Amino acid sequence: MSITRPKFRLVDVDDLDSEQGETAEDDLIGTIIAGRYTIEAHLGGGGMADVYRARDEELGIDVAVKMLRPEMATGEMRARVIQEARAAAQVRHPNLVRVFGTGKTAYSAYIAMELLDGPNLEAYLRERPGERLPWNEALELLLPALEAMHAVHERGYVHRDIKPGNIIVAREPGCPPRAVVIDLGLAKPDRALRDAAGPPTTEAGRVLCTPGYASPEQASQLPVDRRSDVYSMAITLYRVLAGR
């Protein structure tokens, strides 16, 4: 008996708005989000969201605010932002970005999180000869990040988008580089943690992932668990060691 698989298209999470045009990131500079976070500068972003440096007026510290782009702010995507914040907030680990707050605005949703000083792993590697690290340096840098992923898994979540772009190499004075896992935007709770308020399952025929780092089962639209993250981290380690 033959099995007919559904047709699907692979969607790179950095290219979801390829037909939407560009958003004027500077429009938010100077505005106050949730009566608390004063937006000061645009730091970067991708297809779904922009990241800004902001001043937390209540705590008196600088934070990073991830803001969902208005053209992407469907009910599902706004729910995913809230889920990302909840997933990260439930795990305490020095190699996982800290979350301070989250919420929805009239046209978007946001996460206020730890402001990290340093490039992502991909940019960090471009600064090194051959765009790679010696094996001992690579393991020293990435093993703590793997432990952070284990902590995420123990809380019942799967990240689903591990790649060099989602690992920040934080540079703190007097300390060695620290790999910090960020962006749990595609994090998926196990069935025991799901509730009616959570985002729905990704629509049939659409696979959210990063080609090249996604596990075969994720790219094939099959069920995923923590082993998919381990696969993606292994590909990331290969990139770090081989330079490609």
Per the CB < 8 A criterion, the answer to whether 47 and 14 are in contact is: yes
**What is the spatial distance between Cα 147 and Cα 12, in angstroms, rounded to a whole number?**
26
> Three-state SS for 207?
strand
E runs forming strands in 171-224: 178-181, 188-189, 206-209
Instruction: Please give the full DSSP string across 141-183, using - where no structure is assigned.
Output: HHHHHHHHHHHHHHTTEE----SGGGEEEE--TTS--EEEE--
The helices-and-strands tally (H runs, E runs) of the chain is 5, 12
Instruction: Name the active-site residue from 12, 117, 161, 225.
Output: 161
Report the Cα 170 to chain-centroid distance in Å. 15
Is-catalytic flag, 161? yes
**What is the spatial distance between Cα 120 and Cα 82, in angstroms, rounded to a whole number?**
23
Catalytic sites, residue numbers: 161
